[in-house]
Amino acid sequence: MTIAEKSFYIEVPSSLNPDQLQIMMAMEKDAFPGIGAIDEQTLVPLARYGKIILYREEGDSKPIAVCELMRDYQDVNKAYIFGFYVRSDQQGRGIGKKFLGDIFPILKEDRFKKVCLTVSTCNTSAVKLYERTGFEIKGTRFSEFGAGEDRYYMEKEIDSDHS
């Protein structure tokens, strides 16, 4: 079955129960080994005061992809993608591109005009995905998350007609 034939849907929880927290923390550790994973101290406020978008596939009990969003207080028209990842056993199927395509209309509905993110300069597959979906590298932030943790800062305009 191709990705086009699969049944995906979006879930936006306003809170996370203990089981959901455990699943999300395990997914975070898988997606961002080492310094990148977040825990309940970040996930709970993100669900309540930011936005967590879960990408689900019919018949799968765990999300297959996650997008964590915040509003930029320096520019309230800009959303910041705090975290974006596809579950490791689902990578390489085009899910990341499809998921991003489904996120842009949500951002537009939330009245954002721009979306930004940072990505490791070493994560070439993620950089290519973001570029294919309209993000542009606007700069490099050296040691963004500690010594040697360089990140590209990328932005995308959210088109009023189509994203």
pLDDT at 126: 95
Rounded CA gap, 83 and 76, in Å? 19
Res 1: pLDDT: 57
Q: Which token pair is 76?
A: 């309230």
Q: What's the pLDDT at 38?
A: 87
109 has pLDDT over 70: yes
Rounded Cα–Cα distance for residues 31 and 154 (Å): 20
CA distance 131 to 111: 22
Average pLDDT (116-142) is 96
pLDDT band at 57 (very low <50, low <70, confident <90, very high): very high
Spell out a b/e string for 36-63, using b for 16 or more CB atoms within 10 Å of the CB, else e.
ebbeeebbeebbeebbbbbbbbeeeeeb
Q: pLDDT tens-digit profile of 67-105?
A: 999 999 999 999 999 999 999 999 999 999 999 999 999
- 58, 119, 161 from 10: Cα distances, Å: 11, 23, 22
- What's the rounded Cα separation, in Å, for the pair 28 and 22? 10
pLDDT of the residue at 4: 59
Residue 113: how many other CB atoms lie within 10 Å: 15
pLDDT 10s digits, 16-40: 999 999 999 999 999 988 777 788 8
pLDDT of res. 145: 86
Pick the more confident residue, 38 or 55.
55
Reply yes or no on whether the pLDDT at 3 is more than 60. yes
Which domains are present in the chain?
3-116 (3.40.630.30)
Residue 163: what pLDDT?
45
